[in-house]
């Protein structure tokens, strides 16, 4: 597998220069086309007692503001990317998470920064990372805060013998093949022979792809933060993990380990479902 098409998500309200530089760095490494994408939506009319409050002029003004901001982002994206990589721009007035999921059709890899600032959590102006990871069908690289480029020397794989973890290892193979040190880490208070057999199989699989890896087991913590803690301790450049969750009343609910990784903005993470 190779990454030949990278979709780069730009938060319409965020500081985008670092993640653009990161996207360009990754596109150069993988000789990939870099597709810049940004989207935001106009909130629907407010339902109030007595009826719907509809202000067409205000909605039109919000739409024009979004369109102007998208043009500014396009100029910044093209200016920073220059002629160093092949690029494409996609700006859209629409739901940002849905727009990014739809664009996954043309992606081998999605790159995004963690939502931050005033728009974080605003579904009309920022990406819902949980929905993105669980619905895109592509690996999602979530960059640490203000990351502009990345060393790919030390990589930690958070391993569970599940479909999601197998998918994550396969999806992240181009990163694993660049690494100098790879650790396959399982969190288990009572590791059995079967636990170690699954780890040995992953080490063997990676060796077939030219990746030298070591396996290790750590005890579980009640807050689910063990993988993030191990990554911090080894000063990992990248954490690879499956994303584990389920839908309840149309809201994605994550387990502790996935949630801990999603919330750790100090780490670069590649997550698959």
Q: pLDDT, tens digit, for every residue of 206-220?
A: 999 999 999 999 988
Per-residue pLDDT at 249: 39
Kindly state the percentage of the chain with pLDDT values over 70. Answer: 88
Average the pLDDT over 197-205 and give the result.
98
Per-residue pLDDT at 142: 95
Q: Which of 121, 59, 86 is nearest to 263 (CA)?
A: 121
Tokens of 62: 């919000």
Average the pLDDT over 116-136 and give the result.
82
Taking the CA atoms of 143, 144, 145 and 146 in sequence, report the sign of the dihedral they define.
Answer: negative
Rounded-to-10 torsion of CA 186, 187, 190, 193: -10
* Residue 55 pLDDT > 90: no
Listed in sequence order, the residues at least 6 apart from 66 whose beta carbon sits closer than 8 Å to its beta carbon are 12, 40, 41, 42, 93
CA distance 21 to 26: 9
Residue 241 C-beta-side C-alpha neighbours within 13 Å: 27
Length reported for the chain = 273
Rounded to 5 degrees, φ, ψ at 238 are -155, 140
**105 or 228, which is more confident?**
105
250 confidence band (pLDDT: 50, 70, 90): very low
- Angle value at C-alpha 41, between 116 and 35, nearest 5 degrees: 70
CA distance 26 to 141: 11
Taking the CA atoms of 134, 128, 11 and 241 in sequence, report the sign of the dihedral they define.
Answer: negative
CB 1 within 8 A of CB 170: yes
Average the pLDDT over 99-122 and give the result.
86
Listed in sequence order, the residues at least 6 apart from 7 whose beta carbon sits closer than 8 Å to its beta carbon are 35, 37, 100, 103, 104, 106, 107, 109, 110, 111
Per-residue pLDDT at 243: 85
Q: Which helix (H) or strand (E) element contains residue 19?
A: helix 17-30
């Amino acid at each position: 597998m190779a990454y030949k098409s990278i979709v780069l998500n730009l938060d319409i309200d965020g500081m985008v220069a670092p993640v653009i530089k990161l996207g360009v760095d990754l596109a150069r490494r993988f000789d990939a086309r870099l597709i810049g994408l940004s989207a935001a939506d106009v909130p629907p009319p407010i339902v109030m007692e007595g009826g719907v409050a509809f202000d067409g002029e205000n909605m039109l003004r919000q739409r024009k503001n979004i369109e102007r901001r998208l043009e500014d982002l396009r100029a910044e994206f093209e200016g920073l990317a220059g002629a160093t990589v092949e690029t494409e721009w996609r700006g859209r007035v629409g739901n940002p998470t849905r727009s990014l999921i739809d664009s996954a059709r043309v992606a081998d890899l999605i790159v995004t920064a963690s939502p931050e600032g005033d728009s974080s959590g605003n579904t009309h102006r920022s990406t819902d990372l949980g929905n993105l990871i669980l619905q895109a069908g592509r690996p999602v690289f979530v960059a640490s805060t203000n990351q502009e480029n990345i060393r790919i020397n030390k990589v930690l794989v958070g391993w569970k013998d599940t479909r999601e973890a197998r998918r994550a290892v396969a999806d992240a193979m181009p990163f694993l093949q660049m690494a100098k040190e790879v650790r396959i880490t399982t969190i288990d208070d009572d590791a059995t022979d079967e636990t170690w057999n699954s780890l040995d199989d992953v080490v063997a699989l990676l060796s077939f792809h030219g990746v030298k890896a070591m396996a290790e087991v750590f005890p579980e913590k009640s807050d689910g933060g063990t993988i993030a803690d191990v990554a911090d301790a080894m000063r990992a450049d990248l954490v690879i993990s499956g994303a584990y969750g389920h839908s309840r009343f149309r809201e994605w609910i994550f387990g502790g380990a996935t949630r801990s990784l999603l919330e750790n903005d100090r780490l670069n993470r590649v997550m698959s479902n």
